[in-house]
Structure 1
Amino acid sequence: MRPRRHVVTTTIAGVASLLVVAAAISASASTDDAGLDGGRHGGGLRLTPVGANAKTTGVTVPNSLSPELTEQQVAEGARRLENPTTDISFYGYRGDGPLLPAPGDLPAAGHLVEASKTEPDKNTYLILRGQHGADPTYDYGTHFLFQGHEAGATGYLTRINLDADPAHRVTLLATKTTSGAALPNFDGSTWDPWARKLLFTAELGNQGGVWQAAPDLGGPVQDISFALGRGGYEGIQNDSAGNLLIVEDVGGATVPGDKAKLPNSFVYRYVPHDRDDLTYGKLQALQVISRRSGQPIAFQPIDAGHPTGNAFSDDVKDLHTYGGSFATHWVTIHDTATDSSGQAFDANALAKAAKATPFKRPENGQFRPGTGFREFYFDETGDTNADSTANNGFGGWGSVLKLTQDDPRADNGRLSLVYNGDKEHTGLDNVTFVDANHVAFVEDAGDGLHTQRGLLDSAYLFDINADYAHGAQPLRFLGEGRDPSATIDSALSGKTGFQNDGDNEITGIHMSNGDPSPRGILGEQRPTPFDNGWRLFWTQQHGDNITWEIVSTRR
């Protein structure tokens, strides 16, 4: 049952102010203390906040959306590909088992009760002409949604043909590079308008990196990690200068006797020597300067002299305290001009050696529209554990941070805290701006934290102009449910021989008008949600692996 609430409306376009509201909700929902209200602008939409859905053993629950919104499936895991292989037949499943366990069947070593879920991840929406598929006689239209897949023995690339009929709905684009190497599991994606390539990132530590691919079937796919490095890369985003901002997600070592983890991930900027060719350039890492010592806030491992590393350092606490502002500097860690070996390198290790600043799993980031690419917002997922003592002031619940620079080419800038997470708002992952003043961050809290707090994931709308330092909270516009397959998987999770994830998570939140030109870079144009071609997508990962489009109920 959807929780009943005192109704508060919000505008997700235009300058907004925060209003504290009273809310009466059932035990199945968590508390939203605030909504957004303001003038309408560019077809803005007023939203009513919803509650979070409870995690209850054996119970399937539908998604809760603000009543001004509705969603429609654009693809689902059981959607058969138009060009299947024996191993990859469906949008979200491999060919190694049934799509659902047989009644009474239980996993065991060497026995899969269901097919491996491939977990379509980040979405990238483009309007393109002249695209091809498996059927040379079919017109595939012009509206496309691209994904890399995150799970399985290998990864692959898919394209949802949004204009196509069911038989031609999803095309398998690639399973290997042009040189014949298997693709890895992918997490992030974006479109580079100068190189005219899709970019996919692999969150695989020193085996991760960046791959570039043509958007058409049969187009080349190349591993370009010899230029951009190996790292636990996830978020990737262009700026107007042709640079790439890359956000890394690498979990740090756990503090002995605690659930807290070391900050161990970096934010990178790749500066191509020629923005039309991403295979030559320099990789930089973000360095933040301590307000206490004037020295870089650098990685500190756990050792005899530092039994907790820098998990509880004054600098880490300062980074997660409202009101602070820190000088930043981009430090170059690799340049193809001086290393022409063509060999991949460990970006995380080089960032540590250069005294770049580690964060607590910053998974994704995006530029604020209308700022000339001078404001970059990124999240920290945090420790995703209610028992971490770093939750008390040291970033354990995660955060939203803002990097400001005078120009996208600038080497120096300022970093400040936008939002400190808490138990209700944590595990922030994917991000998209829905207009110039509102940004959506979505949760991937994980099965363990779902159980600890008794709640499934949510998607939140943050007002850039709100004062989160004094009790304001973002608006929840999506309380994710748990579909039937994820409910089954949650019950099987942890059993010997079971290979799939449990509860659903939110991923791939993405608003775009599909413009493939440099003007279409996310952050260049001010979105007008659900008007003028702007569309909003997300994927309910795990379980049934459904990719949704969110639309206005006014349409």
Structure 2
Amino acid sequence: MNHVTRRVATAGLAVSAIVALGAGSASATGGVDRWASVPATAKAAGTAAPNTLSPGLAEHAVAQGSIKLENPAGEVRYYGYHADGPMLPQPGAVQSPGHNVEATKTEPDKNTYLRLRGLHGADAGYDYGTRFLFQGHEHGGPGYITRVNLDADAAHRVTLLATKTVDGTELPAFDGSTWDPFAKKLLLTSEEGADGGVWQSDPDIGAKVRDISNVLGRGSYEGIQTDAAGNLWIVEDASGDVPSGTSARLPNSFVYRFVPKDKSDLSKGGTLQALQVISRRSGQPITFTPADASHPTGAIFSDDTKDLHTYGTVFDTRWVTLHQGDASSPPFDANALAKAAKATPFKRPENGVFRPGVGFREFFFTETGDTNASSKANGAYGGWGGIYRLTQSGPAADQGKLTIFYNGDQAHTGLDNISFLDRDHVAAVEDAGDSLHTQRGAFDSAYLFDVNADYGKSGQPVRFLAEGRDPSATVDSAWSAQGNGFQNDGDNEITGIHTSDGDPTVAGLLGTENPHPFHGGLRIFWTQQHGDNTTWEITRD
């Protein structure tokens, strides 16, 4: 059974740190290769459930949606809620246009951990410490940037950094984030399509936030990482059309690389590229194929799409140029340029990371897939998604090799955020969604993959986190099922998995050194999005 220990959250609310003590002798006090699988958490209507972790692991809340910001602004008053309604529906409440039965959940997303000195907050006389966790928020408007002050007390726990750019424009909803040690800026991405792109921000209160999409392009950008050469790697999550009768999405998203003119100042411009994969059959680029009269399902069921999801198949890749610009360039549609340049689309690749300790020669990125058990692309054509491995001679190389590292299935699908825990083990977490949760009868999980394993032959990853559903998400799930314009998501989602020692220098760039969880200041964070919107730190028990 599970052992539940009680702790006091920074907002004064009781939260749980869940530790799995079920069968199995493996212990998390050793290396991650000793972590043991736990069962998935079953979904039952109207029933909340706790999270379960591998034996020897614990989780502790570092922030929760109901925590008041120390410096609220307008409707932006809490870590996980806008101030446009109550935190829970009141008895007899009726959802209607213009009237929310519940406050809009802001959904803090990707986490970025940094150790920085000299940062400030709303209280000029308070010492905010040196350890901070940054987030953009994915839902509602205006968008905003928060900083969880991990060394601070409850009153100073979460600082609002910004709700507007330097020119007064409201921030969009943000999905991805990272720290660029060359430019010394936080980079935040928005997957809002024609309104999406990349924003850069200072890490302190009153942050100067600038939209730099004029040089990086507009697109449904989500994952973003900086390599050792100062280039930015961006992973796009642009949902494709669903041709009638397929329940399958058209591959419509691209992987980008931005080569800056000046890596210390991204706003000066540079070259945006997209990844092109060469067909093993024709020797020509695998390109976007729309669904039309001559191709009723587009590229969903093409031989190339099948090959891309076949274990052991290795493809040649190259980077193709989409745009070259400078500070005076107008914004442009990166997705459209990628299609015109014959770059290769994928089925919603959401995040990517560099394998540590190998000189930035290996890049792993997730593919979320269709998140629908009824998709006719499931199995052979990538409907379940998976994880790709891109290898190059170095981060600035123009050519490389691509292969599917892991093909998803119904129990391992909707893979989203990804983070290396050590050189040989990468964690990937699910965002399967309410419909697929119901179809398979189980909530999301986080998995540990061994990069030296051959999953095409045997074996499955270790489920080290089986997410449950908190009471607020259970209520939201019931409201969401009713429709009626309810604006919040239902079941909890795993997001923001992040492993870092917080080193903000170039030497601390993610992917440089081989990390060791729970050693040398290395910390692991994740956010239980939706519901209470709790951000957790995973520790040893």
User: Where on the TM-score scale, by shorter chain, does this alignment land: which range?
Assistant: over 0.9
Aligned: 1:295 with 2:312: no
Taking a change above 3 Å as real, the CA distance of residues 537 and 411 of structure 1, as seen in their structure-2 partners, is same
Distance 2:307 2:214 in 1: 35
Q: Aligned to 1:403, what secondary structure does the other structure show?
A: strand
**Share of identical aligned residues, percent?**
65
2:325 to 321, 324, 336: 336
In structure 2, the CA distance between the partners of 1:45 and 1:417, relative to structure 1 (3 Å rule), is closer
Pairing of 1:156-167 with structure 2 (within 5 A): 156-167=144-155
Return the alpha-carbon distance in structure 1 between the equivalents of residues 467 and 394 of structure 2: 38
Query: Residue 417 of structure 2 aligns with which residue?
Result: 430
Give the Å deviation of 1:111: 1.9
CA 5–422 in structure 1, closer or farther in 2 if over 3 Å, else same = farther
- Compared CA separation, residues 4 and 259, structure 1 to 2 (3 A): farther
Asked whether the 8 Å contact 2:27–2:56 carries over to 1, the reply is no
> Tell me, which stretches of 5 or more residues in structure 1 are unaligned?
13-39
Please tell me whether residue 386 in structure 1 is matched to residue 373 in structure 2.
Answer: yes
1:67 equivalent in alignment to 2:55: yes
For 2:393, the equivalent position in structure 1 comes to 406
Task: Quote the offset at 1:531 in angstroms.
Answer: 0.8
Superposed displacement of residue 86, structure 1: 2.9
Residue 7 of structure 1 corresponds to which residue in structure 2?
Answer: 24
1:355 aligns with 2:355: no
Amino acid at match of 2:26: T
Deviation of residue 11 (structure 1)?
Answer: 7.2
Confirm or deny: 8 A CA contact 1:110 1:497 kept in the other structure: no
Counterpart pick for 2:265 among 277, 295, 300: 277
Q: Deviations over 1:494-531 (max 9, x none)?
A: 42131110000000000000000001111001111011
Deviation at 1:470, TM superposition (A): 1.2
The equivalent residue for 1:458 is 445
Q: CA deviation at 1:341?
A: 4.3
Q: In structure 2, what is the equivalent of residue 529 of structure 1?
A: 517
1:68-108 superposed Cα distances (whole Å, 9 cap, x missing partner): 10010100000000001230111000010111111232322
In structure 2, distance between residues paired with 1:10 and 1:229: 46
SS in 2 for 1:485: helix
**Alpha-carbon distance between aligned partners in 2 of 1:269 and 1:167, rounded to the nearest angstrom:** 41
How many Å apart are 1:112 and its aligned residue? 1.1
Q: How does 1:303-342 map to 2 (within 5 A)?
A: 303-336=292-325, 341-342=328-329
Cα distance in structure 1, aligned partners of 2:45 and 2:398: 51
Alignment root-mean-square deviation, CA? 1.4
Moved more, 530-539 or 1-10: 1-10
Query: 202, 221, 227: which is aligned to 2:190?
Result: 202
Q: Kindly report which structure 2 residues correspond to 1:371-520, keeping only aligned pairs within 5 A, or say none.
A: 371-493=358-480, 494-520=482-508
Query: Are the counterparts in 2 of residues 229 and 344 from structure 1 also a CA contact under 8 Å?
Result: yes
Q: Structure 2: which amino acid aligns with 1:47? A: W
Q: Structure 1, residues 38-73: CA drift from partner, whole Å, max 9, x if none?
A: xx6xx6573221111011100000001112100101
Superposed, which structure 2 residues align to 1:40-79 within 5 Å?
A: 46-79=34-67
Q: Kindly report which structure 2 residues correspond to 1:174-193, keeping only aligned pairs within 5 A, or say none.
A: 174-193=162-181
Q: 1:5 to 1:129 in 2, by over 3 A?
A: closer
Structure 1 equivalent of residue 13 of structure 2: none
- Residues 406 and 8 (structure 1 numbering): CA distance in 2 closer, same or farther, change over 3 Å? farther
SS in 2 for 1:260: coil
Single out whichever of 288-297 and 80-89 deviates more from structure 2: 80-89
CA displacement, residues 226-253 of structure 1 (integer Å, 9 cap, x when unaligned): 0000000000001100001000000101
Contact 2:26 2:55 in 1 (8 A): no
| Corresponding residue for residue 134 of structure 2 | 146
TM-score (norm 1): 0.92
In the alignment, the residues of structure 2 paired with residue 68 and residue 479 of structure 1 have an alpha-carbon distance, to the nearest angstrom, of: 14
Q: Determine the C-alpha separation between the residues in 2 that align with 1:11 and 1:240.
A: 31
Q: Distance in 2 between matches of 1:473 and 1:178?
A: 48
Q: Is the 8 A contact 1:45 1:529 kept in 2?
A: no
Alpha-carbon distance in 1 for matches of 2:381, 2:47 = 35
Q: CA 1:68 to 1:259, structure 2 compared with 1: closer, same or farther past 3 Å? A: same
Match of 2:243 among 252, 255, 270: 255
Report what 1:246 is aligned to.
Answer: 234
Distance in 1 between the 2:56 and 2:458 partners? 26
> AA paired with 2:461?
P
Q: Distance in 1 between matches of 2:366 and 2:296?
A: 27
Residues 8 and 49 of structure 1 are in contact (CA less than 8 Å); yes or no, is this contact kept in structure 2?
no
CA contact 2:471–2:531 (8 Å) conserved in 1: yes
- Once residues 8 and 468 of structure 1 are traced to their aligned partners in structure 2, the CA distance between those partners, rounded to angstroms, is 24
SS at match of 1:186: coil
CA distance in 2, matches of 1:194, 1:430: 24
Map of 1:20 onto structure 2: none
Cα separation, 1, equivalents of 2:161 and 2:539: 27
TM-score (norm 2): 0.95
Aligned residues: 522
1:24 maps to what in 2?
none
